[in-house]
Structure 1
Amino acid sequence: MSTKYAETEQATAGTKYVGRAVDRLDGRAKTTGEARFAAEHPYPDLAHAALVHATIPRGRITGIDTAEARAVPGVIDVLTHENAPAMKPAPKVSFLDLSTLVSGTSVNYLATDEVHWNGQPVAVVVAETPETARYAASLVRPAYQELPAAVDFAAEEPNAVPQKGSLIAETKADKGDAPAALAAAPYAVDLTFTTPPHSHNAIEPHATTAVWDGDRLTLHEGTQNIPWLRKHLAQRFGVPEKAIRVLSPYVGGGFGGKGSVWAGTLLAVLAARATGRPVRLALTRASVYHTVGGRTPSTQRVALGADADGRLTALIHTSVSRTGRTGGMGEQITAVSRHLYAVPNIHLRQSTVPLDLLANTFMRAPGESIGTFALESAVDELAWELGADPVELRMRNEPERDPLGGQRFAQRMLREAYALGAERFGWRERDPRPGAMRDGRWLVGMGVATAYHPSLRMTASVTLRMAADGTVVVRCGLHEIGVGAATVQAQIAADELGVPLESVRVEHGDSDLPPGPQAGGSVQTASAAAGVLAACAKLKRTLLGLARRAPDSPLRGRRLEELAARDGGLYLGGRGQTYAEILAAAGRTHVEAAVKANTLGFLARTLRERRKWVKAATGAQFCEVRVDPDTMEVRVSRWLGVFDVGRVINAKTAASQLRGGIVMGIGMALSEQTLIDHRDGRIVNPSLSEYHVPVHADIPRIDVRYLDEPDPTMPLGLIGVGEVGITGAAAAVANAVRHATGKRVLDLPITLDKLL
């Protein structure tokens, strides 16, 4: 095993670029303003749109007065359910067609007088300037017949029903008799945790620029799923997929909220079709809160039983989350409890309750992020009951195989992660007594928690083109959501072909390119890498085939497996040919290779592998806090995350992703919550002045390390880093606060009132 510091480690063995801390290839374009995002593409005669939001949670529109808005100079049109062109309804969700999962809600906007949540768009104003559109939108006067609505999650929780499972998301499990084992356990904890709703706050609010040319649509959109968005729009607007071009080369942040199709996108396209002009709809921050789903709230029960030696004998984990009546899905909240601990008796259940609120949606590590908060907080509390060290308790219950299914772990190095983390963090210096450690007047606490996120892989189509001058173009419709996706694929291609990194260009973010995987579920890098590796191998075979035709080629009679790709060519020892020489001898200016995604093969492989392996990224989160004993202000003062994420392709971007997840986890622990008025379902803090995300002053230097051991079942051995960093983070903070103050906070966020 090797351990590596994520930003200083250079090349891994046998590679030139993979593993290095390579600067992002799009860095200059983004820092100089050269990169254009969805709301920055100029078009002649461009119009601007703004939304009018409903102010009731449920009911019908009985009238809508647009006269004052239409009278504003510069207003082009006001679209309502009374005059808007019809869209086709959203397709029903089906796991036989995964693209149906992209529907944010089932509402057919402006085709109905029904209101389903407070904030639903009920009109669109199109004007010559964005300022005019927003002002006129404020003058639209809807009238409503209000109907009874359920908007209080806590009040409706008793009405929850069992969550439906699927091939890709199991919602219940039983092993042994967990209730009986819990009752018989000499040591036990039985706790109920709550987590609030969270809203998306990407640095780039959702924006769409839509341009119709007859029945052809060009769409500039920040999206995490180009192919599914394109298919959805084709269905909704009744045009062929090939008539739609989605351009999304740069996305200003996406944590799941840009993985679905929301009202802003659909209504921008609708407004462009209705007015016959290019239309831009850039959502305000408040409009994002009202029209783009976020993380579900949850109530979770975690009960653990253990014997006197600290061996777990029972684990019960149940959850209730919410959906909207018009969309959203239950999350895999209890999934972490399937895999983390060796327990002979396990009981898992997930339930959901539909409310008259905006549908929930994916948000970084959906399910696992809040599930690890509850589970890892309960494990820590059990350690207090036992008088055991929290790290030792976890290692004592580390399984050799998956606790439920008995499958082997494709990669599982939690012991190594905890050992390294404990040593580097100075865990042995921790005084185990609550409130015993101080720094001047500050109470000091140290906490740990396990990070866990499943490793997934989807399909990607890739084409490669190598020119006689040695330049390589990689073409794949992957998504650059701020993670350096194109950079890592360029690193992989450069190593596989043995060419300089600067000679590789990656084309991405365009539906005209071969379709790439979604940027979600930590799947994009591994999925695209598999396609790039296959295309590189195919390209080299083609080049070798050309070389063999030349009678004087030193590569005649050689097999690809014997050769090394280096120095811009294929070599056996000191003998070989450059690619330029091969192409020149063959009279070719370029050579191409293409790999097409096989969806049926992907599904078969996924089901087959799930029966054989459990794949996941894991890690150990170490947190130190300081707490003011008078005000109970909590400050995170130190952090170390040690992760088993397989092979790391780019040390710099991987470190950034892991740190970013930890920062979101700290926000989850200490400040983030979407506040909903339980009388009318209105979000009362729809802005960054009232929804508190962490800022620089809240975050210490975050030390990130990784083990860099390849997973032998994944392309290049990489697992995925985008989401594992947030898991366990909130629990590590809560556990450190428990150590500093002696108080266990069960309800996030951990605010002053819960400690005083």
Structure 2
Amino acid sequence: MSSVSDWEATANPVKDNRAGLIGKGVDRYEGPLKVTGTAPYAYEVQPPSPPAYGVMVGATIATGRIIAVDTAEAEAAPGVLAVWTHLNVPAQPPRGAKAHPRSTQGSKPALESDKVTYWGQPVAFVVADTLENATAASHLVKLTYDADTPDVNFAKRLSDAGQPPGEQDVEIGNFDEGFANSPVRLDETWATPLQNHCQMEPCASLAWWEGDRCIAHTSIQMVKPAQHGLAETLGIGRDDVHLLTRYIGGGFGGKGQTYDDLTLAALAARALGRPVKVAFTRQQMMHGTIHRPATVMRVRLGAEKDGRLNAFSIMTWTHCHKDGSFTEHASNFARALYAAPNRLTGHRLVRLDLPHAGPMRAPGEASGTMSLECAMDELAEKLGLDPVELRIRNEPPADPENGRPFSQRQLVRCLKEGAQLFGWDRRRPTPGQVRDGRWLVGMGMAAAIRGNFLLPAKCSFSVDADGVITVRQGMTDIGTGTYTVLAQIAAETLGVPLGKVVVEIGDSELPPAPGSGGQFGAATAGSAALAAGMNLRKAIAEMATSDPHSPLHAGDPAEVTFQDSVIALENRSETLADLIRRNAPEGLTVEGEIRPAQDAQKWSTQTYGGHFVEVGVDPVTGEVRVRRMLGVFAAGRILNAKTAKSQLTGGMIWGVGSALGEGNAVDPRYGSLINQDLAQYLVPVQADIGDLDAIMLDEVDDKANPMGIKGVGELGNSGAGAAVANAIYNACGVRVRDYPITPDKLLAGLIAQGR
């Protein structure tokens, strides 16, 4: 974290205060706009003049080349303004090119060549006066391909996998020897499927030009990389792109990068001299944006008879695009979870003719815990130990990989309190012992872990003559509550009501922040906001004590208090608005920033949790119903109890989906994904979730940042699916290691048992 001055140490009103706005479950800042439908998402922004509408055409092969193009019918269709393919798209710099060496993203040209590298790749683009005319004309574009045989079978390519670029396996001690000498051993393999993000709002963009400057609204989680990448693609200066992303209808990592909708909207707007809107259809989202890749994970555990791990290994095989290198790091999380002297973890990567893989909520942990946390349950059964007790016995005193002390670690408390609150003592260790009518009922649990990160960020605070505080930051809100927590920090730091705070985010012209993702958003943005707020507080206090017309004149700035829009010193006070009107009628603005501390690497900083689940299994149909679900989490200082709980329970629900239904399959003939809409791609709905609760332990991690904040957005998803799988086994005695656990897989196991 950044250094804290003596003034901040004595005058910081939020660091140790537990009675203020921070932490309270206040309503969303932007909630009224969203529930009334007046929050303008990228596609809904009103441009300065009537827009044209663009529709992308996707390739119908997975690999090969376009050998003929016929756009005559499309160009002659009603309302059509332009039809582009690789033959006539405006010139763009080569992929990855950077005219400015400090750009955080290089050029991403659209329709760049006749080469096709995945099914659904945008290969043509139609612009018309209405969306209906553009859609109709897009079906008239005729493309002829020279198709190659797609290489898309992940399972058949496992033996060809290699190490990801720049990575090596991590071994501590001697795993083979430790495993061989362990009296109790487990060696099993789990598989998770390819998953799609399925955000409520598809990726969409609107662009227009003001002279030589491009104005672009898009749905993106990170502002600066999008601005830089678009500028490089358009061949203009970075300051000549004004990129905005005010409201985002879900991201989950899938909007951590830009796609061809943004590039094509900007290119077409420049070519046509009018605003252009482009959006992915739901079907196009499945192929045209990134996905979580499938994994195969081999877990080997060797333990002493008392349950203490002697040897531990998780090796992951995963896949990416032929030209990519993204790796689902499903082994990494385990490196900080359990103690064992002999350890081996690593990854293998297969490149396929599939769309690009990328981050998806809790990348690594979401998949990895589905194996390890089930393996721990299987080991507990072999040992005759309770699963909670096994995990507690393997609690490390320090980070088991690097020996660093933990900044805060309350995993054991999460497990113990969760077990007590859930009624874990009523669980029957032997599977299939509890019935409720026709249902077999069981309980399961799993541990949760997710790394904590802090990135550089800036923020500005302004106060005007009416005493209104305006927060400005190039941060984003993907539904997680960024607007709200920034408003809470501002209100508490400056002692004004929430109604006196304005929050402006999602704009490339605002002080830069890394954006939303990786569970670093709240801690990073919030820490920068605190720094800006403290700087403004100090400036106001110094202004008041140096102003001969102020009742606070000649006082100690560090003793000035801020409450209810009034600044006070002992028994002297005046309103914040009066002070500003007298001294800075045009307003006062200051900036603050946060950077990771130089000693940040001395600590192992994680977030933790414990999941507890009760399910019912119908032995006749194989149907699974989640009856109860409880999560107990330790994730630093909570900024907003309501939005944090929403994030945690949302992650838990995601875990239910991953365990029971979510996943996509590849058609080996065409290299396409079989499930291409929300009718076929199954995510949990209200009726799928029973009694659900998340509890957050009190924690302030002062090694993480000045406010002790950590993230929660991905923690809830870590381990949740494994807890469901473990509960299923306890209910009916069937282990399914190939996710999702669908009725057909359960029925096969039940039939094999003779049920």
Shorter-chain TM-score tier = over 0.9
Decide which of 24, 28, 42 is 1:24's aligned counterpart.
Answer: 28
Is the CA contact (8 Å cut-off) linking 2:215 and 2:243 kept in structure 1?
yes
Q: Give the 3-state SS of the residue equivalent to 2:513 in structure 1.
A: coil
**Aligned residue runs from structure 1 range 538-617, under 5 A:** 538-551=535-548, 553=550, 555-556=552-553, 558-584=555-581, 586=583, 588-595=585-592, 602=596, 605=597, 608-610=599-601, 612-617=602-607
Cα 1:424–1:347 change in 2 (3 A) is same
**Aligned residue runs from structure 1 range 4-15, under 5 A:** 13-15=17-19
Is the CA contact (8 Å cut-off) linking 2:634 and 2:697 kept in structure 1?
yes
Is the CA contact (8 Å cut-off) linking 2:445 and 2:613 kept in structure 1?
yes
1:564 CA drift (Å): 3.2
**Aligned residue runs from structure 1 range 406-417, under 5 A:** 406-417=403-414
Is the CA contact (8 Å cut-off) linking 2:86 and 2:111 kept in structure 1?
yes
1:554 CA drift (Å): 5.5
**Aligned residue runs from structure 1 range 366-405, under 5 A:** 366-405=363-402
My pick for the range that moved more, 570-579 or 228-237, is 570-579
Count of aligned residue pairs for this structure pair: 729
Structure 2 partner of 1:3: none
1:12 CA drift (Å): 8.9
Structure 1 partner of 2:528: 531
Structure 2 partner of 1:732: 723
Is the CA contact (8 Å cut-off) linking 2:545 and 2:556 kept in structure 1?
no
- C-alpha distance after superposition, 1:43-97 (max 9, x if no partner): 324111111111111111100111222222111121011111122123279xx96
1:715 CA drift (Å): 3.3
Tell me, in whole angstroms, the C-alpha distance in 1 between the residues paired with 2:583 and 2:497: 23
Is the CA contact (8 Å cut-off) linking 2:316 and 2:329 kept in structure 1?
no
Structure 1 partner of 2:668: 678
Tell me, in whole angstroms, the C-alpha distance in 2 between the residues paired with 1:129 and 1:711: 53
The CA RMSD over aligned residues, in Å, is 2.0
Tell me, in whole angstroms, the C-alpha distance in 1 between the residues paired with 2:481 and 2:263: 28
Decide which of 189, 193, 203 is 1:192's aligned counterpart.
Answer: 189
Is the CA contact (8 Å cut-off) linking 1:66 and 1:141 kept in structure 2?
yes
Structure 1 partner of 2:71: 66
Is the CA contact (8 Å cut-off) linking 1:624 and 1:637 kept in structure 2?
yes
- C-alpha distance after superposition, 1:462-518 (max 9, x if no partner): 111112322111111211211110111110111111111111111111112222222
1:406 CA drift (Å): 0.3
Structure 1 partner of 2:331: 334
Decide which of 49, 52, 55 is 1:50's aligned counterpart.
Answer: 55
Cα 1:340–1:535 change in 2 (3 A) is same
Structure 2 partner of 1:8: none
Tell me, in whole angstroms, the C-alpha distance in 1 between the residues paired with 2:491 and 2:388: 41
**Aligned residue runs from structure 1 range 480-491, under 5 A:** 480-491=477-488
1:171 CA drift (Å): 5.5
Is the CA contact (8 Å cut-off) linking 1:59 and 1:146 kept in structure 2?
yes
Structure 1 partner of 2:165: 164
My pick for the range that moved more, 271-280 or 185-194, is 271-280
- C-alpha distance after superposition, 1:207-254 (max 9, x if no partner): 111112342111111110111100001111111111111121111111
Tell me, in whole angstroms, the C-alpha distance in 1 between the residues paired with 2:560 and 2:263: 52
Is the CA contact (8 Å cut-off) linking 1:550 and 1:585 kept in structure 2?
no
1:698 CA drift (Å): 0.6
With the length of structure 2 as denominator, give the TM-score of the two structures: 0.93
Is the CA contact (8 Å cut-off) linking 1:452 and 1:619 kept in structure 2?
yes
Decide which of 633, 653, 662 is 1:643's aligned counterpart.
Answer: 633
1:274 CA drift (Å): 3.1
**Aligned residue runs from structure 1 range 243-262, under 5 A:** 243-262=240-259
Tell me, in whole angstroms, the C-alpha distance in 2 between the residues paired with 1:452 and 1:117: 34
Tell me, in whole angstroms, the C-alpha distance in 1 between the residues paired with 2:584 and 2:130: 56
Q: Give the 3-state SS of the residue equivalent to 2:683 in structure 1.
A: coil
Unaligned runs of 5+ in 1: 1-10
Amino acid at match of 2:41: F
Matched-pair identity in %:
43
Structure 2 partner of 1:300: 297
Q: Give the 3-state SS of the residue equivalent to 2:323 in structure 1.
A: coil
Amino acid at match of 1:318: M
Is the CA contact (8 Å cut-off) linking 1:79 and 1:271 kept in structure 2?
no
Structure 1 partner of 2:11: none
1:563 CA drift (Å): 3.8
1:575 CA drift (Å): 4.0
Tell me, in whole angstroms, the C-alpha distance in 2 between the residues paired with 1:189 and 1:499: 58
Structure 2 partner of 1:6: none
Determine whether 1:357 maps to 2:354.
Answer: yes
- C-alpha distance after superposition, 1:105-127 (max 9, x if no partner): x9743221101011111100111
Q: Give the 3-state SS of the residue equivalent to 1:622 in structure 2.
A: strand
Structure 2 partner of 1:4: none
Q: Give the 3-state SS of the residue equivalent to 2:716 in structure 1.
A: coil
Determine whether 1:661 maps to 2:662.
Answer: no
Structure 1 partner of 2:123: 122
Is the CA contact (8 Å cut-off) linking 2:532 and 2:593 kept in structure 1?
no
Q: Give the 3-state SS of the residue equivalent to 2:666 in structure 1.
A: coil
Q: Give the 3-state SS of the residue equivalent to 2:135 in structure 1.
A: helix
1:572 CA drift (Å): 4.3
Tell me, in whole angstroms, the C-alpha distance in 2 between the residues paired with 1:540 and 1:657: 31
Tell me, in whole angstroms, the C-alpha distance in 1 between the residues paired with 2:555 and 2:434: 68
1:261 CA drift (Å): 1.3
Tell me, in whole angstroms, the C-alpha distance in 2 between the residues paired with 1:633 and 1:710: 42
Q: Give the 3-state SS of the residue equivalent to 1:423 in structure 2.
A: helix
Cα 1:77–1:416 change in 2 (3 A) is same
Amino acid at match of 2:735: R
Amino acid at match of 1:56: I
- C-alpha distance after superposition, 1:116-170 (max 9, x if no partner): 01111110011111122112112211111122431111111211111234xxxx6
1:550 CA drift (Å): 3.1
Tell me, in whole angstroms, the C-alpha distance in 2 between the residues paired with 1:528 and 1:203: 24
Is the CA contact (8 Å cut-off) linking 1:447 and 1:623 kept in structure 2?
yes
1:582 CA drift (Å): 3.2
Determine whether 1:175 maps to 2:172.
Answer: yes
Structure 1 partner of 2:8: none
Structure 2 partner of 1:440: 437
1:660 CA drift (Å): 0.8
Amino acid at match of 1:662: M
Structure 1 partner of 2:310: 313
Q: Give the 3-state SS of the residue equivalent to 2:667 in structure 1.
A: coil
Q: Give the 3-state SS of the residue equivalent to 1:317 in structure 2.
A: strand
Determine whether 1:512 maps to 2:509.
Answer: yes
**Aligned residue runs from structure 1 range 64-213, under 5 A:** 64-91=69-96, 99-100=104-105, 108-165=109-166, 172-213=169-210
Amino acid at match of 1:632: G
Structure 2 partner of 1:275: 272
Is the CA contact (8 Å cut-off) linking 2:57 and 2:138 kept in structure 1?
yes
My pick for the range that moved more, 406-415 or 65-74, is 65-74
Structure 1 partner of 2:742: 751
- C-alpha distance after superposition, 1:370-420 (max 9, x if no partner): 011111111111011111100010011111100010001111101111111
Tell me, in whole angstroms, the C-alpha distance in 1 between the residues paired with 2:168 and 2:534: 40
Tell me, in whole angstroms, the C-alpha distance in 2 between the residues paired with 1:623 and 1:508: 38
Structure 2 partner of 1:629: 619
With the length of structure 1 as denominator, give the TM-score of the two structures: 0.93
Structure 1 partner of 2:687: 697
- C-alpha distance after superposition, 1:565-619 (max 9, x if no partner): 323244345444442343355464532211256xxx65xx47x412x11111110
Unaligned runs of 5+ in 2: 1-14, 748-755
Is the CA contact (8 Å cut-off) linking 1:328 and 1:361 kept in structure 2?
no
Tell me, in whole angstroms, the C-alpha distance in 1 between the residues paired with 2:555 and 2:177: 67
Is the CA contact (8 Å cut-off) linking 1:526 and 1:715 kept in structure 2?
no
Cα 1:284–1:393 change in 2 (3 A) is same
